[in-house]
Amino acid sequence: MRTLAFLFSLVAGLVVFPAVAAATPSPVSAWYVYGSSPAAVASYAYARGCDFAEGQPGGGLRLMLLDFGAARKLSAGTWGTIDFSSTTLSNTDILAALKAAADGYHNCHVRGSVDILYGNSNYHLSASGMSTTDAWYAGYHQSERSEDLFDYQAAKGYDSQTSDAASDMEPSWDGPSITKQLVNGDQAQGWALYYDFGSADGCPQSGSSDGPCNNGWHVSDVAYVSYHGLAMPLPEIYYSVNARQWTVVRRWWNANQGGYVFAGATATTGAGLAPGAAWNTLSSLNGGLVDSELVCFGC
Amino acid sequence: MFRLLIAACVLAAGGGIAAAAVVPAPQEKAAALQRRVSVATTDSSAEPATPPGSVPQPIPARMLGLDVPVPIPPSVLRVRNGWLVSDGRTLVAVYSGAAGKDPSVGRLVIVRQDLAAGRQTVRTIDAGPTGALTITSAPLGSAVEMSAQTGSLRVRTAGGRTLRLDLGAGTLT
């Protein structure tokens, strides 16, 4: 069926989203990266790849999100992240970790397939000294490393794997202008889908207008970072208010450009909504427009 | 996910999701989405990869300032500061501040990772109407990488009252 669909799409030149899942998807684990060194992060990523494969529900393609922390320019010409334990990771280090995750998934593969995501965030980009140009390069090289990972997966015969990128883009963490450059850089490089697993903090909870959000953002800015270019919304739905805010984002985009579809939802334990309820809440407000993916921190 | 069903194929397959509306993917995303369709469910290589060395690499107990990224979003926690320790097998990170929706509610968020078992948990503890919480005293250094994970931290409320987080019991008193 999958092959038939792909061949048909090539012939027809037409790609469409499914209109999606009626049933709540089973959550898959996402991970915050805390490392003491690049070598430790690679070892960690290998183990998480294996864990993910062993626990993967169903036979479909699922997203494995490794959140390496905040995007950073580490030195002239060197980009990467600072992780959650304050360890700086160059993109070379991160690529090594992503390859280790691919190895771990391969060694423990049971069923289905995986899209391994290089995740970062817009946490305090400006305060760290990054310019909008630096942020553009951060997105560009993030996509480039994702493509490098795919080349590795292909060379190793890991046919059940692919690669993309992701970013936890939170209005409260930095302004819209610099955050948009992450998305623009990714699009310019052209490889990776750029999953926005961030928030629509402070945005309106009803209507479809371009209302204000936190930190100088507007609904249109959240829509941009989640759907412009290669961006795809995988919104953080921790409380029901988040689902209402993201619904406004979707309505605004569709009123102006059309075609906005959620790639799924990001959930967590320890907050207001249980993971399944998070996806269901978003889906109930956006009937047929939320794909069957549920990424979860703490699951 | 994103199985990229083609409308005609859906129809040919018997219309399993016939009631669903079909949304065209934007052109700029089409190539990346098409790539996902060709992902197989088996690998052509059966050769196992060589795992990286797995020597535990602990993280000495340390305070985390606001220059270090916080994984907890502002909708959950308006963060003041954090603390972290790992013995290389298990990790505990504590973030202090106020509830995202109500800054009058003091809140702690505890992230734990069991690296061997592959588990991560995120737990929220609310202190009630104390205002934002700040970690003021915690075990530090490499000598406490294991013991601190079940030790205690002192936390100050906005009004200056001191509370104790017992990581072993999971209580804030």
- CB-closest option in B13, B35, B111 to A32: B111
pLDDT tens digits along A260-281 = 999 999 999 988 999 999 999 9
Q: Which two tokens stand for residue A75?
A: 């030195």
Residue B1's nearest CA partner among A115, A98, A125 is A115
Residue A44's nearest CA partner among B146, B148, B48, B88 is B88
Contact at CB, B25 and A239, closer than 8 angstroms = no
Residue A33's nearest CA partner among A113, A93, A77 is A93
Percent of all residues in chain A with a pLDDT value above 90, rounded to a whole number: 90
Collect all residues of chain B within an 8 Å Cβ-Cβ radius of residue A270: 109, 121-124
Decide if pLDDT at A216 tops 60.
yes
CATH number at residue A151: 3.20.20
pLDDT at B88: 92
What is the rounded CA–CA span in Å between residue B101 and residue B31? 40
Collect all residues of chain B within an 8 Å Cβ-Cβ radius of residue A229: 28-29
- Distance from the A77 Cα atom to the nearest Cα atom in chain B, whole angstroms: 21
pLDDT at B65: 86
Collect all residues of chain A within an 8 Å Cβ-Cβ radius of residue B76: 238, 268, 271
pLDDT at B5: 30
Write the DSSP string, A157-221. T-TTEEEEEEEE--TTTS-HHHHHHHHHHHHHH----EEE----TT--SSSSS--B-GGG-BHHH
What is the rounded CA–CA span in Å between residue A230 and residue B70? 26
Decide if pLDDT at B17 tops 50.
no
Range of A170's domain? 15-297
Find the mean pLDDT for residues A62-78. Answer: 97
- Distance from the B70 Cα atom to the nearest Cα atom in chain A, whole angstroms: 6
What is the rounded CA–CA span in Å between residue B91 and residue B145? 9
Task: Please check whether residue B3 is in contact with residue A18, taking contact to mean a CB–CB distance below 8 angstroms.
Answer: yes
Decide if pLDDT at B10 tops 80.
no
> Looking up tokens 């953080």, which residue turns up?
A236
Mutation to test the B interface, candidates A3, A9, A266, most B Cβ within 10 Å: A9
- A184 located within any domain: yes
Query: What burial class does residue B134 get, using C-beta atoms within 10 Å of its C-beta: 0-12 exposed, 13-18 middle, 19+ buried?
Result: middle
Cα of A51 vs its chain's centroid, Å = 19
Around B122, how many Cα atoms within 13 Å sit in the side-chain half-sphere?
26
pLDDT at A21: 55
- A4 located within any domain: no
- CB-closest option in B2, B38, B76 to A271: B76
What is the side-by-side order of every strand in the sheet holding B119-128? Answer: B59-64, B77-86, B90-99, B106-114, B119-128
- CB-closest option in B20, B30, B59 to A18: B20
- A246 located within any domain: yes
pLDDT tens digits along B30-84 = 999 999 989 999 999 999 999 998 777 899 999 998 889 999 999 999 999 999 9
pLDDT at B56: 73
- CB-closest option in B8, B17, B33 to A8: B8
pLDDT tens digits along B52-65 = 987 778 999 999 98
Q: Which two tokens stand for residue A35?
A: 């490392």
Which of A5-19, A123-137, B147-161 bottoms out in mean pLDDT, i.e. has the lowest? A5-19
Percent of all residues in chain B with a pLDDT value above 70, rounded to a whole number: 86
What is the rounded CA–CA span in Å between residue A86 and residue A83? 5
Using CA coordinates, name the residue in chain B closest to A111.
Answer: B41
- Distance from the B160 Cα atom to the nearest Cα atom in chain A, whole angstroms: 27
- A5 located within any domain: no
How many domains are there within chain A? 1
- A37 located within any domain: yes
Write the DSSP string, chain B. ------HHHHHHTT-TTTTS--EEPPHHHHHHHHHHHT--SS-S--SPPPPPP-----EEEEEE-TTS--SS-TTTEEEEEEEEEE-SSEEEEEEEEEESS-TTSEEEEEEEEETTTTEEEEEEEEEESS---EEEE---BGGGTTGGGGSEEEEE-TTS-EEEEETTTTEE-
Select the more confidently predicted residue: A247 or B4. Answer: A247
pLDDT at A2: 41
Contact at CB, B29 and A232, closer than 8 angstroms = yes
- CB-closest option in A113, A201, A297 to B75: A201
Mutation to test the B interface, candidates A17, A174, A191, most B Cβ within 10 Å: A17
What is the rounded CA–CA span in Å between residue A298 and residue A275? 10
- Distance from the B48 Cα atom to the nearest Cα atom in chain A, whole angstroms: 6
pLDDT at B7: 33
- Distance from the A281 Cα atom to the nearest Cα atom in chain B, whole angstroms: 17
Contact at CB, B68 and A82, closer than 8 angstroms = yes
pLDDT at A20: 53
pLDDT at A97: 97
Contact at CB, B50 and A192, closer than 8 angstroms = no
Cα of B74 vs its chain's centroid, Å = 13
pLDDT at B26: 84
Percent of all residues in chain A with a pLDDT value above 70, rounded to a whole number: 93
pLDDT at A17: 53
Q: What is the mean pLDDT of chain B?
A: 86
pLDDT tens digits along B71-118 = 999 999 999 999 999 999 999 999 999 999 999 999 999 999 998 888
pLDDT tens digits along A122-146 = 999 999 999 999 999 999 999 999 9
- A1 located within any domain: no
CB pairs under 8 A between A and B: 272
Chain B interface includes A247 (CB < 8 A): no
pLDDT at B15: 32
ipTM, interface predicted TM-score of the complex? 0.89
In angstroms, what CA-CA distances link B36 with A151, B39, B71, B145? 14, 6, 28, 42
- A249 located within any domain: yes
Single-letter amino acid, residue A30: A
Around B114, how many Cα atoms within 13 Å sit in the side-chain half-sphere?
8
Find the mean pLDDT for residues B121-127. Answer: 96
- A206 located within any domain: yes
Task: Please check whether residue A225 is in contact with residue B99, taking contact to mean a CB–CB distance below 8 angstroms.
Answer: no
Decide if pLDDT at B20 tops 60.
no
- CB-closest option in A9, A63, A292 to B4: A9
Res. A245 pLDDT band, cuts 50 70 90: very high
Chain B interface includes A191 (CB < 8 A): yes
Contact at CB, B57 and A156, closer than 8 angstroms = no
